[in-house]
Each structure stands twice: as C-alpha cells, then as structure tokens.
Amino acid sequence: MSRTRRRIPFTPAPPRSATAPAEPMVLSIHAIQRFRERIAPALTFAKARIELRILARTAIRSEDRSASGAEIWRVTDGIPFRLVVTVEGGRSTCLTVVEPDGDLDDEPSEAR
C-alpha cells in the first residue's frame, strides 16, 4: 500500500528590499491622517491605516534626512510618496507622510 502526500500550495513572500524594515513600522496617528489627506482621501481612517501599513513594508530608506534628522523612506508602489521615520531602540516609527515633492519640514510638533 503506497501513501501519497498531499501537496500544500506555497505562496512565497514578496521580495523585500535589504533596506526595508524587518519589523512592521509603527504608524503615528498623524502619519495616518496625512496619508488620508495627501494620498488616499477616499479611505476611512481604519482602511488608510491598513493600506499605509502594507505600503510602509515596501518602503526603501533613502539617504535624505528631514530638518530634525529623521530618516526619509520612499514608497514607490502605486502613488509615490515619502515617509518621515525615526528609529529608536531598533523600532521604526512613521511620523508623517509627505508627497514626493512635499516639504520635509512638515513633521508633527512632538517630533521636533
């Protein structure tokens, strides 16, 4: 009597950039609000949070810095935009969302 193994379909994870965060990025409320205002105004807050979380995982760190020294990450999937990110204790926090040609000094006051 022969045994046959059931094959379980395998879906590989999408390729990730070496500069993309390994852990999910923490999203500030300000970042989600700016994402809705500047990039996806048709989304509810909850849906914008989910969409931004997905897009943030594809972000690529650039060499640019904001006026306060925060890192700038670029999202190029779909509508391009930038994330202003701080990294403390190995944890990345997105402070705000800026259009590709937007002013990088637009950070929440608590980040300054």
- Domain with residue 41: its CATH number is 3.30.2310
- Does 16 fall in a domain? no
Give yes or no for a contact between 68 and 2, defined as CB atoms under 8 angstroms apart.
Answer: no
Tokens of 55: 């897009």
- Does 112 fall in a domain? no
- The pTM for the full model equals 0.73
Domain that holds residue 78: 26-102
Quote the percentage of the chain above a pLDDT of 70. Answer: 71
- Does 3 fall in a domain? no
Summarised one tens digit per residue, pLDDT across range 40-80 is 999 999 999 999 999 999 999 999 999 889 999 999 888 89
Alpha-carbon gap, residue 39 to 85, rounded angstroms: 17
- Residue 44's nearest CA partner among 52, 55, 53, 36 is 36
If one counts the domains in the chain, the total is 1
Tokens of 96: 């705000």
Tokens of 27: 């999203």
